[in-house]
Amino acid sequence: MCDKCKEKFYITTAIAYASSKPHFGNTFEVIMTDAIARYKKQRGYDVYFLTGSDEHGQKIENKAKEAGVTPKEYVDAASDKIKSVWNRMNTTYDKFIRTTDDYHETAVAHIFQKLYDQGDIYKSEYEGWYCTPDESFFTDSQVVDGKCPECGRPVTRAKEEAYFFKMSEYADWLIKYFEDHPDFLQPESRKKEMLNNFLLVEGGLQDLCVSRSSFTWGIKVPFDPKHVVYVWLDALTNYITALGYDPANEVQPELFRKNWPCDFHIIGKDIARFHSIYWPIFLKALGVELPKHIFAHPWFNFGQDKMSKSRGNVIYADDLADKFTTDGVRYYALSEMPYANDGSITYESVIARYNNDLANTLGNLVKRTVDMCRKYFGGTVPAPHGDEGTDTELKDACRHAVEAFKEKMDTLHISDAIDEVMTLLRRANKYIDETTPWTLAKDEALKERLETVIYNLLETIRTAAVLLFPVIPETSEKIFAQIGTDKTDYESIEDFGSLVPGTVNGESFVLFSRIDEAKMLEEFEKEAEAQKAEAKAAEKPEGCAVIGIDDFMKVELRTAKIIAAEPVPKAKKLLKLKIDLGYEKRQVVSGIAKFYTPDDLIGKKIIVVANLAKATLCGVESEGMILASGEETVRVVFLDPETPLGERVR
């Protein structure tokens, strides 16, 4: 037993937002967390692994309405999809929490009440920019060209009564906590980002809106039920409510007392702010110990681009597993993602990793070695007879791989840990070329040497399979079965030679069949085209918000005639138009200069947003907006020449 036996280890993923099926980038997180959990279990830790789904918020309320179902029906189906993908990836989570679970909703209401009663939450009014997909508010200075600074999608102006948490009162404490706990947030670059962008900025940390009253799908504020608890106070607390925490308890349950504080929160870098700033402050206010570490992993991009259905490059892990097996997907995700920088997935790189690492380096080595053992020794593991030639080098390579793998896994450098094992396997393949067992088998006088070589190869493969178990567990089990060994624990690989001679090998079979790259890429191309077509036919534009009839009626559309047009100096895209509404004349600036000349427009009748607030574009005042369609190619909506001026369009 190791010196860490039965020491607890609590690890979590961020809970997946239950709005759609998680793509490959989302799924990487649960695969990574599962690999860490499996590794810790191998080392003798008492592991508790939590994942789940985040099921409240305006975005879900809107999607449910579009689908014609209740929000609960919508999240029930979405949660099942998430679980299905997690299960397909062979993840070994101990609990899957849903934020619609009764115990969670009850605890969150009690948490809100406690924070309010002790003066950490106060009521005020919020006005700012709101990003529905990210469920986040932003100030004027944070918004970039009318778009969310996090995801790049359009934001809308929101003003409503809300409750706020006094984040500003805890800022100095958190800054000092970062200083005193340098490994609290990892990698180091994330910590610098949080300090420089949020904690040490001019004006300091701002108070946080923690309730909403413009939608109803959420946990009701217990003393003011027209408000619902805002997503981050709801979602973040899952890490403690899943263990039974509730501030109303006189004594917290055993599961919480045993496992908290969390050893590692594994999250995406895009939500580092919420986990490393808001979450510690919430816990401090509740009088609960902080998690030991937060690891904000990088993203998987498709090549250099974000995944998008309109580009035809959204990849789902379960679909990929149909072609490359579950272990093939797990291996790719964990071996391809760097520690701190974004990873890149392309179909070519998936095929290359599968063929080169799994089919050739690992699979071919196992098949050749087991086949030789069966051919020369009837499938019985031979006994070694002392070192010759490069035997010592191979054994040293095994010992180094074990120590290096542990060191890198302990610091979450998972892809580097996998590289150590692949280096060992390549060394084993080279060892076959150096020792040429097929030549040794021809000379009875060299039988003991052949026995040593085959033993060394089988023991090296066993060592590699133990190390790779957290990464490709099904494959490791198959390797153990082929070798016929039950020596699968870490203690058995601390030194070379635990494989018992006389063990009988199992049946030999191919672990990974090589992929025909050209054929597979052709399949992917067809799927990408189908994805683009589906997106074009079914998806609404990003950022398209649902509005009611009352909001629509506030927009005053009027018919007008363009009576003059000229370019705006120093603005290649803009035309200055003079329009006649029948009851008055106005000036409007429009970004259509690339598509129309002034002569194309003069005399044409158009539709104008007549009650738009005045704006100044490139120094020219504009009072209104003309209707047009398209983005890459803009087409102005022209009316029948007989259309009267000033008519309201309904």
Q: Which CATH number goes with the domain that contains 567?
A: 2.40.50.140
Q: Quote the pLDDT of residue 244.
A: 98
Based on the fold, state whether residues 365 and 466 are members of the same structural domain.
yes
* Cβ-Cβ contacts under 8 Å for 433 (sequence gap 6 or more): none
On whether residue 114 sits in a domain, the answer given is: no
| Polymer length in residues for the chain | 650
Q: What is the DSSP string of 293-361?
A: -EEEE-PEEETTB---GGGT----HHHHHHHH-HHHHHHHHHHHS-SSSPEEE-HHHHHHHIIIIIIII
What one-letter code names the amino acid at 83?
K
Q: Does 20 fall in a domain?
A: no
- H/E run at residue 35: helix 24-42
**H/E stretch holding 31:** helix 24-42
- For residue 437, being part of any structural domain is answered with yes
pLDDT value at residue 5: 52
| Residue 457 sits in the same domain as residue 590 | no
- Residues with pLDDT less than 70, the chain: 1-5, 134-135, 150, 303-312, 537-553, 570-571, 617-618, 630-632
Boundary-marking domain end, from 426, 458, 493: 493
Q: What is the per-residue pLDDT for 200?
A: 92
Please give the radius of gyration of the chain, using alpha carbons only, rounded to the nearest integer.
31
Report whether 19 contacts 61 (CB < 8 A).
Answer: no
Q: Which of 131, 168, 123 is CA-nearest to residue 148?
A: 131
Together in a domain, 488 and 566: no
Q: Does 448 map to a domain?
A: yes
Please indicate, yes or no, whether residues 462 and 553 belong to a single structural domain of this protein. no
- Asked whether residue 372 falls in the same domain as residue 454, the answer is yes
Q: What is the pLDDT of residue 594?
A: 79
List beta partners, residue 228: 212, 220
Q: Helix/strand/coil (H, E, C) string of 48-117?
A: EEEEEEECCCHHHHHHHHHHCCCHHHHHHHHHHHHHHHHHHCCCCCCEEEECCCHHHHHHHHHHHHHHHH
Answer with the one of 493, 516, 531 that is the final residue of a domain.
493
Residues 483 and 582 in one domain: no
Structure tokens at 78: 């979405």
Q: Which domain holds residue 373?
A: 346-493
447 and 574 fall within a common domain = no
**CB proximity list for 410: less than 8 A, separation 6 or greater:** none
Task: Copy the structure tokens of residue 480.
Answer: 């153990």
Residues 489 and 561 in one domain: no
pLDDT at 138: 76
The CA distance from 355 to 64, in Å, is 43
Per-residue confidence (pLDDT) for residue 1, from 0 to 100: 42
Q: 402's torsion region: left (phi>0), alpha (psi -120 to 50) or beta? A: alpha
- Our count of domains for the chain comes to 2
Predicted local distance difference test score (pLDDT) of residue 628:
87
How do residues 141-185 score in pLDDT, each as one tens digit?
777 777 887 677 788 887 789 999 999 999 999 999 999 999 999
In a domain, 472, yes or no: yes
The reply to whether 233 falls in a domain is no
Same domain, 417 and 556: no
Per-residue confidence (pLDDT) for residue 539, from 0 to 100: 53
CATH of the domain at 459: 1.10.730.10
* pLDDT value at residue 135: 67
CA dist 527 and 550 (Å) reads 42
User: Residue 441 falls within a domain, yes or no?
Assistant: yes
Shared domain for 474 and 351, answered yes or no, is yes
User: Angle formed by the axes of helices 365-377 and 447-468, to 10°?
Assistant: 140
Q: What is the pLDDT of residue 143?
A: 78
Position 429 in a domain: yes
Do 469 and 401 lie in a common domain?
yes
Last residue of a domain, one of 493, 514, 539: 493
User: Is the same domain home to 476 and 400?
Assistant: yes
CA gap 56, 172 in Å, rounded: 31
pLDDT for 542:
47
pTM listed for this prediction: 0.80
Q: What pLDDT is attached to residue 310?
A: 60
